[in-house]
Structure 1
């Protein structure tokens, strides 16, 4: 969730770069920097902390170049120091980077074997060296970037400038957003249109895998295969509210597409990706090994994140977990073992029932840990420790990116607990951390199913009732799918554990009933297939969400199959959240309901 800006201007651009970075402060950051070319010479200025520190540094040593790039960094690989701040430079190229390069360790080892010396702890420096090495081998800047991009694995947005080339700016995106701004003899790159708003009202959004070659008068956009493509230019003097939607029709869709980026940012905050370990951002006031029990309280979608976490904590840490809907927990007067851990989960941090549960837990001798998206909220202030989700502002009432970021935080906590309690080894931890690192890339792959899902939604929009089924961690995701469909389309929907089908819900099955089955090819897949066969025997309309192996072994006729990437079981709930969100979104769009502000709902429920 870092911020990127690039400017090909007529006048010195350092001040404009900083002003644009201020417009991206809402994304969060802990260091910042700019680089410009003056008479073809590359010069950087970077600072730890807030932008005022960068401004002070620039006041002492001004940059006068008319082409430049800027960046606000949220530390992922390496501490938030001036050395680790962007832009990074090597062999005549400077780069700013938003996202995570998953395979940076392999690339770094390869480059070090060739004699490349690294000066930072970041994954981003690897990109600069990789492009720099291609240029040293005789390639032009454009050729060098074209050769380097296919070697990068992960979710990222990049902007490059090159020494001796004061009329060339290159940008690329895969999983993280990047927009091109068109000016009069000037061109721009930015993480979103908000950063570009002071300069231009003409913006084109790069699509997945695109990269763009800019000079002051034109842009050439190439797709992932290297073919020259055209992307629509949106011209608008609309309000910031509309600009903030980017090229999406609704905030909800924009926030669905932001998930690879914000999940990458969140996981990077909790994981030491270089060493394959969980790195919690704060000292815990308790010992995982000494905890007698964990309790979780939340409402709505946050409750379903907590229910997923129950599976993770019990599997990895072998500790008993009680999960409650906060509105029930607060009145249940449940006995609590002193010294236990209460985890409260809330997007806003102001949910009244969750806050009341927090206070009850504190009164009963519990350590209280809050997983919230607003670190200044009441729940955050009253908890003993806060684990922020770093999803950024979520405008759509139906939670999407906040949910998947909650899952990312809770998974990280469960892995940390398992390691501390001795139930997972160092090798297990490394494998789990690597799986978490890959989640943004897999989410990106899942987003490619949008058109197929939109076509499925046309049929769903005609249903009166929909059933969702899942086993294991797919059960809470089935419940979340049903909740989303209810919230957005007003179609009655229920999520059930697949094994409960024969204990009542099967009575509802007939030829008019869509049944959405969440079933990655895992250790319980065959059991879920048996439930699908029960549905098929009664004429139910099965929509299967699975991977390639699951589709191959389904052994039952479906009206539609949504094929997901083959993902590690740990991150399946995070990745499979994407299609169930898109199903609800497109069904609601088909029905013409208010997607961003569904009737009767509020973003933050601050009353009982």
Structure 2
């Protein structure tokens, strides 16, 4: 089917006498190398040469694809390239992009998920089309072909095809019948136009073309168009033509920064990518067949959620949500401690393993032991081809995209979204549960929009908190109910990348011992979700009585009383339903940790003693 995060590059050289000495294929190679962080299990290019399309693609990294001197000698002035990170449809030559239509005259590359691809594929099959891959993306090429056969010009056929798509997409397409154009469209998945003196570009990331073009147009959702040697044409799906030159911006950044999308670190880039990652995760969950997963969870005697590190905090929040929304017996366990309680696991239990990489050894061993004891296992992973995914009975794929920074950010929020989505779908199946499942799913879907607002409103305040924290040696993170695992995640981030001791507690528990450490200016961060935690105001007063320095994260419509009176900094989060808040309240805590680390002169992408995936016991 789709892919969570892939890299796209397209180039149109402006004239055969261009001063760009390297050919189109070499430009594509360099662009794909810059995009390889976005996908690394297959790569491919399609170029128009001698009135036909040449497609070359293979499994593996970009260098493997371009190890032939014959490939680099192909003469072409228009081409597209793609590097893929598979999430559904195994890594294979057939599933690699670009994809072609039946006539082999059209080639496309796509990043995103086409939610209605099954309906579109059935329509195309009924009209005589044949498919050569397992991907959702291939339907795009065939749709363009289908509408061209009805008499449409390529751009009109492309627009018609795009209008039929539901989901997220960044698309580039070429047609041998119009050999000097690249057609493009964007919805949710990023796509950027690059305008140069000798060539124009379209890509998922500025890094792919910054060497050749420093003027850019960032496409908005619902925009599409084409580039040719002398034209950049953009319009909306409704046909409104965009004033291109009013949208042009000059990029002024160092090459090493551009590789991170203009951000100084991958961690900040991935924090800022969360609206996109959440939209992708929600979209992909809607396309996955979860019926069997829901069936075994509905009939489970007991549900265990096992995970490690950041994933454990998402699991703890999920277990609370299972109990609160569904009234079911669910417990979150640290994977490495699972063997202590594994003897109580029985036939009829379900063990959910949550892992960003799908390779975390402690979680893998816990799931193996659970299966030996007769429990069914479900993997919630970001890589459905990982060991945990392969060995579990059922797999739920998040498709949040590769995460390069060691500290998990976007995968945490995507894990929370995934667990809440499963709970909402279970509530939908059970009429006895007093939960408005439709409203809950709508709230989960809103997380994309609210995350974007949260990033906007919290950056300045997060920096203010960091300015206090970076000179301290210890801090408390306090919350109640759902706020506790979010507090735990915030404290972990501060420890991981800023090397500051931080502990999280239920706010009501803090007076049973931990408060003994609090003195003048001791930093205490409160997470006020606005659900069954009204007593947190009393906890704020307790800390202020000891002269603590207090920062509070709270809904903008609930900033009152002790929160307003005693907090040194209040990060007011956008109004949103409870489930949306559960997904997005980690965002300011991630920013606090990031800014604290950078104020201390540390590299948050490479914290000492830590690795992205722990594959040893």
TM-score after normalising by structure 2:
0.73
**Preserved contact between residue 463 and residue 512 of structure 1 (Cα < 8 Å):** no
Alignment partner of 1:60 is 2:112: no
Is 1:542 the equivalent of 2:550? yes
Q: 1:10 to 1:424 in 2, by over 3 A?
A: farther
Contact 2:110 2:169 (C-alpha < 8 Å) held by counterparts: no
Aligned equivalent of 1:10, options 7, 14, 36: 14
The answer to whether the Cα contact below 8 Å between 1:348 and 1:377 also exists between their aligned partners in 2 is yes
Q: In the alignment, is the contact (CA less than 8 A) between 1:2 and 1:28 conserved in 2? A: no
Deviates more, 1:414-423 or 1:226-235: 226-235
Summarize the Cα distance change of 1:339–1:119 in structure 2 as closer, same or farther, 3 Å threshold: same
Residue 434 (structure 1) aligns with? 442
> How far, CA to CA, are the matches of 1:428 and 1:14 in structure 2?
54
1:28/1:341 Cα in 2 relative to 1: closer, same or farther (>3 Å)?
Answer: farther
CA distance in 2, matches of 1:119, 1:572: 33
When structure 1 is superposed on structure 2, of 79-88 and 580-589 the one drifting more is: 79-88
**Aligned partners of 1:503 and 1:461: how far apart in 2?**
27
> In the alignment, is the contact (CA less than 8 A) between 1:33 and 1:72 conserved in 2?
no
Contact 1:479 1:496 in 2 (8 A): yes
Name the residue aligned to 2:319.
310
Asked whether the equivalents of residues 268 and 594 of structure 2 are also in contact (C-alpha less than 8 Å), the reply is yes
In structure 2, the partner of 1:267 is 282
Question: 1:364, 1:323 → 2: CA distance?
Answer: 18
User: 2 CA distance for matches of 1:524 and 1:443?
Assistant: 23
- Against the structure 1 CA distance between its residues 209 and 306, is the aligned structure 2 distance closer, same or farther, given a 3 Å change threshold? same
Which residue of structure 2 lines up, in the alignment, with residue 411 of structure 1? 420
Secondary structure of 1:355's counterpart equals helix
Q: TM-score, normalised by structure 1?
A: 0.74
SS in 1 for 2:504: strand
Contact 2:170/2:184 (CA < 8 Å) preserved in 1? no
Q: Does 1:514 align with 2:535?
A: no
| Residues in 1 aligned to 2:199 and 2:181: alpha-carbon distance in whole angstroms | 10
Q: 1:429: how far off?
A: 1.9
Give 2:270's aligned residue.
255
Give the aligned partner of residue 184 of structure 1.
Answer: 197
- Do structure 1's residue 444 and structure 2's residue 452 form an aligned pair? yes
8 Å Cα contact 1:71/1:96 also seen in 2? no
Matching of residues 39-50 of structure 1 within 5 Å:
none
Unaligned runs of 5+ in 2: 17-22, 52-87, 125-135, 235-241
CA RMSD of aligned residues (A): 4.6
Tell me the residue number matched to 2:252.
233
How many angstroms does 1:207 deviate by? 10
2:572 is equivalent to residue 563 of structure 1: yes
Structure 1 gaps of 5+ residues are: 39-47, 98-116, 125-154, 273-278
Name the CA shift for 1:602/1:29 in 2 (closer, same or farther; >3 Å). closer
CA drift of 1:255 comes to 1.2
Aligned to 1:337: 346
- Contact 1:349–1:372 under 8 Å retained in 2: yes
Count of aligned residue pairs for this structure pair: 531
The structural deviation recorded for 1:201 is 6.6
Is the partner of 1:79 in helix, strand or coil?
Answer: helix
Q: Give the whole-Å Cα distance in 2 for the aligned partners of 1:430 and 1:444.
A: 22
Distance (Å, rounded) in 2 between the aligned partners of 1:435 and 1:400: 20
How far does residue 61 in structure 1 lie from its aligned partner after superposition? 4.2
- 1:583 is aligned to 592
Question: Which residue pairs with 1:74 in the alignment?
Answer: 113
1:373 and 1:168 map into 2 onto residues whose CA distance is: 32
> Partner of 2:354: helix, strand, or coil?
strand
Partner Cα distance (1:534, 1:158) in 2: 55
Contact 1:515 1:541 in 2 (8 A): yes
Cα deviation for residue 576 of structure 1 reads 0.9
Distance change in 2, residues 1:459/1:289 (3 Å): closer
* CA offsets 1:272-317 (integer angstroms, 9 cap, x no match): 7xxxxxx644633953332111011111111101100011111222
